[in-house]
Chains A and B, each alone.
Chain A
Amino acid sequence: MALVNIQNLTYKYPLTKTPALQNINLQIEQGEFISVIGANGAGKSTLCYALAGFVPHFFKGEISGEIEVDGVASSKSTLDEWVVNVGLAFQNPFNQISGAKYTVFEEIAFGLENAGVPREQMQSRVEEAMKLTGISNLADRSPYSLSGGQQQRVALTSILVMQPKLLVLDEPTSQMDPIGTREVFSVIHNLTQSGMTVVMVEHKVEWIAHFATRVIALKDGSILTEGKPGDVLTSDVLTKNGFGVSRYTSVAREAKKQGLWKKEKLPVTLFEAAEGFNRNA
């Protein structure tokens, strides 16, 4: 059975006319690394809220259809019950700092503390999680005197440390430096290898192509297309609908017109591009 099962989900925020999500059907197996792409306003964050139970438990509005995680329907559960299984890193990390803690270490331990995790176990889990996201050196700093990218790493770490069954990340690397971004993708990938399930909203096509198992493209609240990264991210549907593609794809598309790319399939990663252009040589 799929870990996540969304059936005919339609949702409208209060006082708005058009639904932010429209007739979404989606099954996600345990261990998948799903990447959600789409333009501003496509409904990416709303889908994250729905998975994390904030829609409809926090944002009111009209909802129809059903979201199940691990066989339990969101409509039949409270937000407190829901967050045990599902962790969400918000698009804006500034919204996530608890305001209750004086150091980064305590901030990251906050959720575990509330969950009643014993002291010794807490210490090692927090240290482990900080190592994964490269912020061990920030442990004693105040969560308020950090750079944007550092705050984003703290916000991500405070969700990772909870080890939820389903990890929902809304643009978690938007303010991170380039190599840090790649490392975070790689860390998330490793977590899915050991059984965690991840849904990650992202714009960084190169790393999506490299690490995700499936891509879901949203447009105007509906699923426009979905499938393997290599297929979706090179499809004409995306270009026609104004999605960004990797530079490897766009350069090969142009090269193909000039007879400089001989393969049928367009590349989406560095390796595929190098291989294709080399064969030409």
Chain B
Amino acid sequence: MNININNLHFTYPTGLEALKGVSLTINAGEQVAIVGQNGAGKTTLVRHFNGLLKPTSGSVTIGDWDTTKYSVAKLASRVGYVFQNPDEQLFSRDVLTEVEFGPKNLGYTKEKIDELVKQALVWTELTDKTETNPYDLSPTWRKMVALASIIAMDTPIVIFDEPTTGQDFANVSRIANVIAELKKQGKTVITITHDIDFCAENFERVIALSNGQVLLDGTTREVLGQEEILAQTYVDPPQLTRLGKLLNLKETVINQQEFLKAIK
């Protein structure tokens, strides 16, 4: 199921134009990272995919559905969105109820719900916290609950808005693992992130937004190698890419394996 964005403009009720003509196609099964300066319009863009926001002009289609013709509830069967701030997303009294809510709402069978919920809890390592009230958890674990409750919906498209924010090494690895599992299942994963090393290690395509427009779009290597252009939207290349540049390596390297090969 492809996402088609055609000349999308969006102006908030305050009069601020946050998106100024974005056109993109995201193909089924792609792993895409969105990067860019604070306020660039990343969250505003992805909130169009599940219909939380509707275009001021231009269009967004999810498969054959134009988002203006479908409700958020309906779009939820195609697009799962994990909020940047989990407190805007979570509302249940305990973790299990929260994670079950989405798949129940989509009308799956009892067996399928149980299986999806179990898998989501295992992936996010929340199995021992099912009875806890999300608000008794730390913000980082609340974010993991928000993540679990969206993956449990088994949608073909999954969006994570800054999933690794404030997470420790162990949780960042868990999130990377979730992304790899979703990829295996053939899902489209779109992730907004400021963690450029994480971006380099887990995504195939990177879109850099700047001031409501697409600044760069291409393979991870093409995009993250362009130091000067990225700086326009306050993004640095990955650590090892910068090191490779300083050492005058011929090729752009983006991860440890490539770096070690290049210096041999």
Q: Which residues of A contact B (CB under 8 A)?
A: 38-41, 45, 91-92, 94, 141-142, 145-150, 153, 171, 174-182, 203, 206, 242-244, 246-248, 250-251, 254-255, 258, 260, 270, 273-274, 277-278, 280-281
Is A147 in contact with B12, judged by CB distance below 8 angstroms?
no
Question: At the interface, yes or no: B264 with Cβ under 8 Å from chain A?
Answer: yes
A255-B43 contact given A150-B38, A247-B240, A277-B243, CB 8 Å threshold: no
B238 interfacial by beta-carbon distance below 8 Å: yes
* Total B residues in contact with A, Cβ cutoff 8 Å: 44
B256 touches A258 (CB 8 A): no
Find chain A residues with CB under 8 A from B84 CB. Answer: 148, 175
In B155-184, the 8 Å CB interface with A consists of: 162, 165-172
Known: A38-B168, A91-B166. 14 other contacts (CB 8 A): A39-B170, A92-B87, A142-B14, A145-B12, A147-B39, A148-B162, A150-B38, A175-B38, A176-B194, A177-B38, A180-B234, A181-B194, A251-B259, A270-B243
When chains A and B are docked, how far (Å) is the Cα of A244 from the Cα of B169?
A: 5
Inter-chain contacts of A254 with B (CB < 8 A): 256, 260
Contact assessment for B162 and A251 in the assembled complex, using a CB-CB cutoff below 8 Å: no
* Residues of chain B with a CB closer than 8 A to A273's CB: 243
Q: Judge whether A40 and B246 touch: CB under 8 Å.
A: no
CB contact list, B3-27 vs A, under 8 A: 12, 14, 16
A261 closest partner in B (C-beta): B263
Docked-complex contact A179 and B38, CB < 8 angstroms: no
Interfacial residues of chain B within 229-247, with CB under 8 A of chain A in the complex: 231, 233-236, 238-240, 242-243, 246-247
Assess whether A177 is in contact with B234, with CB atoms less than 8 Å apart: yes
- Select B194's contact among A40, A177, A247, beta carbons within 8 Å: A177
Nearest to B14 among chain A residues (CB) is: A145
Tell me whether A147 and B260 are in contact (CB under 8 A). no
In the bound complex, how far is the Cα of B114 from the Cα of A61, in angstroms? Answer: 39
21 A-B interface contacts by CB (under 8 A): A39-B170, A45-B138, A92-B139, A147-B43, A149-B39, A153-B38, A175-B84, A175-B162, A175-B194, A177-B194, A177-B235, A179-B234, A180-B37, A242-B169, A242-B170, A244-B169, A251-B240, A251-B260, A258-B260, A260-B260, A274-B246
- Closest chain A residue to B18, Cβ basis: A147
A248 to B140, CA, bound (A): 26
Residues of chain B contacted by A281 (CB below 8 angstroms): 247
Say yes or no for B197: interface residue by CB 8 A criterion. yes
- Tell me the chain B residues, 122-175 only, with Cβ under 8 Å from chain A: 138-141, 162, 165-172
Q: In whole angstroms, how far apart are the Cα atoms of A127 and B226 in the complex? A: 34
A-B contact count (CB 8 A): 119
Per CB-CB distance, the 8 closest pairs between chain A and chain B, nearest first, are A149-B38, A244-B169, A247-B239, A179-B234, A177-B234, A39-B168, A274-B246, A174-B166
> Which chain A residues border B119 with CB–CB below 8 Å?
none
- The listed residue (A180, A182, A242, A247) touching B197 by CB distance below 8 A is A247
A149 to B36 CA separation, bound complex (whole angstroms): 11
When the two chains form their complex, are residues A178 and B235 in contact, meaning their CB atoms are under 8 A apart?
yes
Indicate if B89 sits at the interface (CB-CB under 8 A): no
Q: Which residue of B43, B167, B236 is within 8 Å of A179 (Cβ)? A: B236
Cβ of B85 under 8 Å from chain A: yes
How many Å lie between the Cα of A280 and that of B260 in the bound state? 13
| Distance, CA A147 to CA B212, complexed state (A) | 13
Contact yes or no, A177 B171, CB < 8 A:
no
Contacts of A148 in B (CB 8 A): 38, 43, 84-85, 162
Does A147 lie within 8 Å of B168, measured CB to CB? Answer: no
Min distance, Cβ A104 to any Cβ of chain B, angstroms: 12
